[in-house]
């Protein structure tokens, strides 16, 4: 209702001759973009980076489709994603990885919206064209939005459902007028949707898997495909945006090859042999001791550590509340308190990790160690039971052990919590009020996460909790993940400095019952929904930080995830022939800004 009133007021203002919005080169979620209209390049790119050569990337898993936008099939990486870059498909605007959430020109040379953000208008760059030479037109933009809304992943549909009207403005403009579903983030989200060619995209079969190369406007075209194994992209010599400020210093290789590996050990062996050029390392044991081979010792393969400016995110065992075993909040909280981080960090990870205490650990958005102020309490007032008292006070922390693996005091805390939830220890089995042993299964993608799962299993079995571990191949894992056919699994909820509408897809009530969302926990809580609405509605950074901290407290209080740990730095192994800019973004290394040393 409020949104509808704001839209009506804006329309009346326009009819009355009120001040109109003005086109701008950029847009920010809160405040103003950092870079002026005449900026020359993004600060973490080297505009003088040499062009040429090939880079060899790797990914664990497989693929059976070249369409990365649909639910069906396993889409290939490297065409349109935040890791390897939007190499084949492009968006209206480019996100700066050096700001919380700001967008700069790409397919659109300017953006216009009003104070209430009841609409957005993009003016396309006259030079923008697809790889087949056809210009990018307003018809392509409207076609893409309608196609993604009707046949792509639910995430895209949710974004586009906030558009009440799409219309062309002049020769190069597209105006999107919003309905009551929109919020202040909506213009920025729509600006990040892929734009597809109407003349070269089959709308009828778009939602079906395909191995037929698709056409985009990006710097590369699909060259060679080995289904399930590898894909090779070649530079488009006629790429239209190569001199655009938002693209200077990007896309420096003539060829990109992405090879898929069934397991990470095989991938790492390929890195050691030089068949893979760069690897973003997540295994602390391997990082500490696994690089003792000739190329690493003599400097041909470098180990870089980069400090990131992002929140930690939340890596942990997500507890699927659709399963009866996890529907009791007290049981979830007790199980979350029984992960022996101190033992695992010492014995598995060489004390390289920090324990995660917030979904936004290490940033101003974190609630950990901060008592809720009056502004937060006011936001939480409509939901009096949503936050645990110690989390509200900022005094909560996960239980700690002495690191021995035999800490009786640590185990007793977990035992007492389960006892309070109605469980008793009978004949060595933790038995619930229903007379059945507390038991569940951990689902793994291959061998990934096996060591940490065994460590948790070992602790829980000391209290008579039966935990089984099941490893499946990537295809089965993704299918079971997509349909929520699991008890618990390891999940990384990434975080940014500007969490937004994606939170609805992860935690919102509306995403609980739709297959293919990231609401793995099955959360459906009015407090979560209300705070997501709030963080999407605020305009100042101060209000935003307050809303996110309150939201963080609600998620922590729900005990949906067993918090594990985070890596305070980004670890990158790369062959020395691959170079990176001197300035590193808030996100860490940005793969599309790398180049190959020709010497």
Note the pLDDT of residue 309: 85
- What kind and span of H or E run contains 265? helix 264-273
Give 5's pLDDT tier (boundaries 50, 70, 90): very low
Q: Could you tell me the CA-to-CA distances from 380 to 360, 473, 509, 549 in Å, in that order? A: 18, 42, 18, 11
Copy the structure tokens of residue 282. 């997540």
Q: How many angstroms separate the CA atoms of 341 and 354, rounded?
A: 9
Q: Report whether pLDDT(323) > 80.
A: yes
Q: Residue 556 — φ and ψ, nearest 5°?
A: -65, -40
User: Are 561 and 579 in contact, with CB atoms under 8 Å apart?
Assistant: no
Q: What pLDDT, in 10s, does the model give residues 488-527? A: 999 999 998 999 989 999 999 999 998 889 999 999 999 9
What pLDDT, on the 0 to 100 scale, is given for residue 407?
A: 96
Q: What is the pLDDT of residues 533-587, one digit of tens each?
A: 999 988 888 999 999 999 999 999 999 999 999 988 899 999 999 999 999 999 8
Indicate whether 398 pLDDT > 80.
yes
Stretch 58-74: mean pLDDT, rounded? Answer: 95
In the predicted structure, residue 15 carries a pLDDT above the cut 70 = no
Q: Give Cβ neighbours of residue 531 (< 8 Å, ≥ 6 apart).
A: 379, 547, 550, 551, 554
**Amino acid 19: pLDDT:** 41
pLDDT, mean of residues 340-365: 93
133: which 2 tokens? 């030479």
Give the Cβ contact number of residue 388 at 10 Å: 17
CB distance 310 to 363 below 8 Å: yes
Confidence check: pLDDT of 301 > 50: yes
CA 141 to each of CA 67, 185, 212, 461, 462: distance values in angstroms, whole numbers, following the listed order: 18, 19, 22, 56, 58
Average pLDDT over residues 478-494: 95
Residue 501: the pLDDT is 87
Q: Does 6 have pLDDT greater than 60? A: no
Strands of 93-95's sheet, edge to edge? 27-28, 102-105, 93-95
With the C-alpha atoms ordered 482, 484, 485, 491, is the resulting torsion angle positive or negative? positive
* pLDDT at residue 20, as a whole number: 56
H helices then E strands: how many in the chain? 17, 25
Closest Cα partner for 505 from 190, 155, 187? 155
* Range scoring the smallest mean pLDDT among 112-126, 140-154, 160-174, 502-516: 502-516
The arithmetic mean of pLDDT across residues 14-33, rounded, is 74
Distances (CA, A) of 204 to 201, 333, 386: 9, 47, 45
What are residue 196's phi and psi, to 5 degrees?
Answer: -110, 155
599 — pLDDT class (breaks 50, 70, 90): low
pLDDT for residue 468 = 98
Q: Would you say residue 397 has pLDDT above 70?
A: yes
Residue 476: C-alpha distances to residues 482, 490, 552 (Å): 10, 15, 32
Residue % of the chain over a pLDDT of 70:
96
Domains contained in the chain, CATH given: 314-566 (3.10.105.10)
Gap between the Cα atoms of 325 and 422, Å rounded: 13
Mean pLDDT of 308-317: 93
Torsion angle of alpha carbons 414, 415, 416, 417, nearest 10°?
Answer: 50
Over range 234-243, report the average pLDDT. Answer: 97
DSSP classification of residue 392: H
Q: What is the mean pLDDT of residues 207-218?
A: 97
Question: What digits encode the pLDDT tens for the residues 430-444?
Answer: 999 999 999 999 999
């Amino acid at each position: 209702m409020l949104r509808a009133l704001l839209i009506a007021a804006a329309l009346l203002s326009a009819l009355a001759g009120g001040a109109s919005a003005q086109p701008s080169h950029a847009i920010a979620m809160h405040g103003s973009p950092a870079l002026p209209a005449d900026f020359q390049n993004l600060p973490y790119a080297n505009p003088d980076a040499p062009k040429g050569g090939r880079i060899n990337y790797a990914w664990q898993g497989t693929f059976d489709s070249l369409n990365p936008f649909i639910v069906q099939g396993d889409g290939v990486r490297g065409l349109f994603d935040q890791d390897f870059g939007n190499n084949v498909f492009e968006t209206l605007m480019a996100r700066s990885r050096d700001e919380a959430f700001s967008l700069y020109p790409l397919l659109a040379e300017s953006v216009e919206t009003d104070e209430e953000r009841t609409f957005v208008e993009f003016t396309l760059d006259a030079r923008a064209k697809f790889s087949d030479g056809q210009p990018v037109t307003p018809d392509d933009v409207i076609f893409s939005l309608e196609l993604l809304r009707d046949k792509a992943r639910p995430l895209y549909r949710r974004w586009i459902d906030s558009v009440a009207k799409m219309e062309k403005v002049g020769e190069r403009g597209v105006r999107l007028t919003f309905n009551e579903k929109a919020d202040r983030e909506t213009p920025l989200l729509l600006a990040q949707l892929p734009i597809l060619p109407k003349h070269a995209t089959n709308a009828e079969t778009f939602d079906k898997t395909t191995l037929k190369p698709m056409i985009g406007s990006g710097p590369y075209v699909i060259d060679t495909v080995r289904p399930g194994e590898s894909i090779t992209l070649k530079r488009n010599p006629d790429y239209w945006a190569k001199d655009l400020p938002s693209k200077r210093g990007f896309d420096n290789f003539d060829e990109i090859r992405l090879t898929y590996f069934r397991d990470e050990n095989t991938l790492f062996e390929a890195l050691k042999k030089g068949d893979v050029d760069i690897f973003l390392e997540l295994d602390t044991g391997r990082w500490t001791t696994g690089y003792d081979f000739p190329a690493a010792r003599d400097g041909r393969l470098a180990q870089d550590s980069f400090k990131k400016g992002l929140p930690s995110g939340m890596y942990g065992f997500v507890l699927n509340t659709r399963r009866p075993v996890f529907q009791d909040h007290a049981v979830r909280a007790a199980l979350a308190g029984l992960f022996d981080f101190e033992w695992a960090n010492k014995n598995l990870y060489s004390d390289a990790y920090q324990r995660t205490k917030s979904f936004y650990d290490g940033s101003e958005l974190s609630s950990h160690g901060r008592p809720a102020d009056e502004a937060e309490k006011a936001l939480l007032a409509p939901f009096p039971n949503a936050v645990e008292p110690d989390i509200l006070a900022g005094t909560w922390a996960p239980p700690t052990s002495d690191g021995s693996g035999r800490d009786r005091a640590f185990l007793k805390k977990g035992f007492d919590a389960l006892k309070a939830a109605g469980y008793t220890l009978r004949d060595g089995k933790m038995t619930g009020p229903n007379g059945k042993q507390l038991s569940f299964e951990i689902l793994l993608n291959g061998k990934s996460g096996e060591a940490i799962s065994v460590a948790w299993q070992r602790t829980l079995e000391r209290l008579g909790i039966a935990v089984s571990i099941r490893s499946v191949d990537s295809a089965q894992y993704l299918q079971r993940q997509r349909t929520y056919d699991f008890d618990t699994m390891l999940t990384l909820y990434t975080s940014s400095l500007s969490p937004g509408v994606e939170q609805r897809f992860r935690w919102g009530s509306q995403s609980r019952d739709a297959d293919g969302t990231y609401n793995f926990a099955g959360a459906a809580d009015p407090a979560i929904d209300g705070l997501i609405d709030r963080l999407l509605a605020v305009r100042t950074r101060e209000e935003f930080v307050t809303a996110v901290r309150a939201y963080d407290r609600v998620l922590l209080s729900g005990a949906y995830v067993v918090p594990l740990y985070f890596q305070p730095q980004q670890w990158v192994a790369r062959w020395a022939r691959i170079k990176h800019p001197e300035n590193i973004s808030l996100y860490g290394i940005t793969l599309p800004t790398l180049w190959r040393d020709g010497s």
